[in-house]
Amino acid sequence: MTDTSKFKPKTVYVTYIVSTPEKVWQALTDPVFTRQYFFGFAVDVEPKVGGAFRLLGPDGRVHVRGEIVAWDPPRRFASTWLVEGMKGYGELPECMVDYEIERSGEAVKLTMMESHSWDVPEAILKGGQTGWPKILSSLKSVLETGKPVAMKMEGPPPEITEAVQKALAEKPWLK
Amino acid sequence: MSKPSFVYVTYIRATPEKVWEALTKADLTEKYWFGYRVSAEGKPGDFMTALSPAGMQAHRDPILESDPPRRLAYAWKPLYKDLPNERPSRVTFELEPSKGQTKLTVTHDEFDESSKILEMIGKGWPGVLSSLKSFLETGRGLEPSWGEDERKRAAQA
């Protein structure tokens, strides 16, 4: 079982959705939903703490692989992430993605926290900071209107690729 | 170290023109900004004004930049007496079109180091901007009945 005490939140995104905690939970854990808003990826979970977590591309290829570290429907879902589908990323230390769901009046407050166990460079964090607003804006639209916001995933810009290569060469997490 | 600031990005299924209107016209902000009437239709040198649902003046902030429907910036200082007295900060809205949709980036910066207000607005903006997105996509903003704490913070944003 992964030791999560060494992970610190680096990127946090909060959105309020007119929905119920149960529906938000389903949207995060059901592949029929994630395909609509998560750049076409299908989530695949073994629904228990210690179970496997995967995000699969339309061709079935594994994009993200991890382990579920919190499974408390419909309140908290957290897993580790190893981004195998992007060159170099799979060799970085895994991060943790944590979703918290709370009722807030007639809406639901969804908090996403991306946490890291090492002093990850800003340039590498930029990837998530670009992607999460797209994913979570689209999730909100799917739940409120039945339709996603149309957008595609962009490959990492050169400065992120360089930062990943530099991190892989220096392996600061081993120090 | 980066300077203290808050940045929030949201994608909205509406044109930049519609998003601009919703951010600057009091008759529209009233419907999603938790009852606040925010008017920011002027040119640089004019004022952004905000009236609370109770009719109190909450803001009278100089407009710094206005380039409809792309970019709007104003100096930001709430007039509430019970808030920490800090120098004016800056709010910038950037609207980028994309296939009939809009990428909206809100940057709130130029805070004092160790600003107390930065902490408050960081909790307020996600509520206001989530409500704006719901309003433009579904015709209805979030009810002000959502968490009382969030509502107070939103009032300050």
In chain A, where are the structural domains located? 9-170
- Nearest-CA distance from A50 to chain B in Å? 32
B10 and A18 within 8 Å at the Cβ level: the answer is no
pLDDT of residue B157: 59
**pLDDT > 60? residue B151:** no
β-bridge partners, B105: B9, B94
Question: What is the identity of the amino acid at A67?
Answer: E
Work out the widest C-alpha separation in chain A, in whole angstroms. Answer: 49
Interface check A104 vs B, CB under 8 A: yes
Asked if residues B60 and B72 have their Cβ atoms less than 8 Å apart, the reply is: no
d(CA A81, CA A13): 17
The candidate with the shortest Cα–Cα distance to A159, out of A117, A115, A118, A127, is A127
Question: Which residues does B contribute to its contact with A (CB < 8 Å)?
Answer: 2, 8-13, 98-99, 101, 126-127, 130-131, 133-134, 137-138, 140, 142-147, 150
B13 and A18 in contact by Cβ < 8 A? no
Residue type, B64: L
The reported pTM is 0.93
Q: Reduced to 3 states, what is the DSSP secondary structure of residue A146?
A: coil
Question: B130 vs A16: CB contact, 8 Å cut-off?
Answer: yes
When CB atoms are compared, the residue of A105, A122, A137 closest to B10 is A137
Sheet with B47-51, side-by-side order of all strands: B6-12, B101-109, B89-98, B71-76, B57-67, B47-51, B37-39
Question: Does B146 sit within 8 Å of A144, measured CB to CB?
Answer: no
Cross-chain residue pair B9–A141, CB shorter than 8 Å: no
Q: Is residue B91 part of a domain?
A: yes
Predicted local distance difference test score (pLDDT) of residue B146: 47
pLDDT in tens, B12-55: 999 999 999 999 999 999 999 989 999 999 999 999 999 998 89
- Please tell me the predicted confidence (pLDDT) of residue B83: 85
Site of tokens 């579920």: A68
Asked if B115 contacts B86 with a C-beta cutoff of 8 angstroms, the reply is yes
Interface test with B, best of A18, A106, A113, A135 (most B CBs within 10 A): A18
What letter represents residue A154's amino acid? E
Residue among B98, B133, B145 whose CB faces A140 most closely: B133
A18: which chain B residues are within 8 Å (Cβ-Cβ)? 134, 138, 140, 142
Is residue B1 one of the residues assigned to a domain?
Answer: no
pLDDT at B154 over 90: no
A14, A38, A103: best to mutate for the B interface, most B CBs within 10 A:
A14
CATH superfamily of A9-170: START domain (3.30.530.20)
pLDDT digits (tens, 9 = 90+) for B52-108: 988 999 999 999 999 999 999 999 999 988 888 899 999 999 999 987 899 999 999
Q: Do A109 and B147 touch (CB under 8 A)?
A: yes
3-state secondary structure of B36: coil
Please give the Cα distance from B21 to B40 (Å, whole number): 9
How far is Cα B20 from Cα B23, in angstroms, rounded to an integer? 5
Contact check, Cβ <8 Å, B146/A105: yes
User: The domain containing residue B62 runs over which residues?
Assistant: 6-156
More confidently predicted of B128 and B4: B128
In which residue are the tokens 């005490």 written? A5
Mutate to test the interface with B, among A106, A149, A154 (most CBs of B within 10 A): A149
Mutation to test the A interface, candidates B1, B11, B34, B104, most A Cβ within 10 Å? B11
Contact yes or no for A149 and B134 at CB 8 A: no
The tens digit of pLDDT for each residue in B106-121 reads: 999 999 888 999 988 9
Q: How many domains does chain B have?
A: 1
Say if residues A153 and A44 touch (Cβ distance below 8 Å).
Answer: no
B147 falls in which pLDDT band (50, 70, 90)?
A: very low
Residue B57 sits in a domain whose CATH number is 3.30.530.20
- DSSP single-letter state for residue A174: G
Is the Cβ–Cβ distance between A28 and A77 less than 8 Å? yes
pLDDT reported for residue B79: 92
List beta partners, residue B89.
Answer: B76
**What tens-digit pLDDT sequence spans chain A (175 residues)?**
788 899 999 999 999 999 999 999 999 999 999 999 999 999 999 999 999 999 999 899 999 999 999 999 999 999 999 999 988 999 999 999 999 999 998 899 999 999 999 999 999 999 999 999 999 999 999 999 999 987 777 788 899 999 999 999 999 999 8
Of the candidates A113, A34, A121, A56, the one whose C-alpha atom is nearest the C-alpha of residue A80 is A113
